[in-house]
Amino acid sequence: MIESRRNGCGPDPGLESPARELFPHRNGGGGVSTTDHGHVMLNTQLFPTTPAELTATWLTSALRASGAVGSSAVTGFTWCLVAEQGAGGIVGRASLDYDRPEPGAPASVVIKFATSHAPIRTVMHRFGLYRAEVEFYRQLSADAGIPTPRCYYADIDTQSGYFVLVMEDMKDSRPGDPLRPTVPDVEVAVDHIAGFHARWWKHPRLRELDWLVYPEGPAFEARAAGLKLAFSGSVDAVRQRLGSQFPEVLSEASGGFIVNITIPFQTSDTRSPRKFFET
């Protein structure tokens, strides 16, 4: 039996089925799981693209491939969406049941999928944003220069943009407060971001990664033009809708958005809820 639910939290029993039977048409470019030592392992199995396609069988194989579990198997799970959902993806927590106790086996994992909203998914895929996230955890997170959650599994279908990330659950950490960030939290964040930028600033390896558009040449100029057009259209739509309520400071800030993508490799989302602190 599977314990899962498409929306909200709680169990929803269903028949156990092999992963290949559940999603026979979804195949990625060879998923990657990371081991405890930061090494990567290629996977060739199919992967789920929505919470409804998750199975205990697939979760077992993903965790075993990464070395997170050995002989134990996932027998069921409870799916619950995390409180804060972004526009570009579906993020939830799978609380896991096993057939036997095993030291170190994760009690829960956080899983991220592409959004079910086709227009947004198309834009995210078009500009390579989904692939960049997947490939970061595939290729760079083990030596990123900053602490990152362990990634148990990462794969993407480069034709459609559907992807899946199975991550370490950071529930024992404290997320930052977006409305009332403390000075110590900001200091910790800035120190880590600075180290990350120093680690990768004009690093020669970045030129070798085909999923990153290096900030020079025709490919970069075309991507920057596309982003500027899409972003400007969004800002104009919001400005028209809000009228005089649209803050002038946002007009000034939006003008500098495109400038930031000239930095070779950066942390583009530094909002407090995206950072976790020790409790």
pLDDT number for residue 157: 94
Report pLDDT digits (tens) over 185-239.
888 888 888 888 888 888 888 888 888 877 777 877 887 777 777 777 777 788 8
pLDDT at residue number 49: 94
| Alpha carbon distance 210, 236 (integer Å) | 32
Answer yes or no: are the C-beta atoms of 3 and 80 closer than 8 Å: no
Q: How confident is the model at residue 255 (pLDDT cuts 50, 70, 90)?
A: low
Q: Which of 25, 18, 6, 102 is nearest to 63 (CA)?
A: 102
Query: Tell me, what's the pLDDT at 242?
Result: 86
Provide the pairing of β-strand 32-34 with 40-42.
antiparallel
13-14 and 2-3 strand pairing = antiparallel
Q: What is the SS3 assignment for 215?
A: coil
Give the orientation angle of helix 248-255 with respect to helix 218-242, to 10 degrees.
170
CA pair distance 1, 57, nearest whole angstrom: 10
Residue labelled with tokens 């799978």: 94
Kindly state the average pLDDT of the residues 121-145.
90
The per-type count for the chain, helices as H runs and strands as E runs, is 8, 12
pLDDT band, very low/low/confident/very high, at 161 (cuts 50, 70, 90): very high
| Residues 138, 154: Cα–Cα separation, whole Å | 7
Mean pLDDT in residue range 37-50: 62
Average pLDDT score over residue span 74-101: 93
C-alpha to C-alpha distance for 155 and 42, rounded to whole angstroms: 10
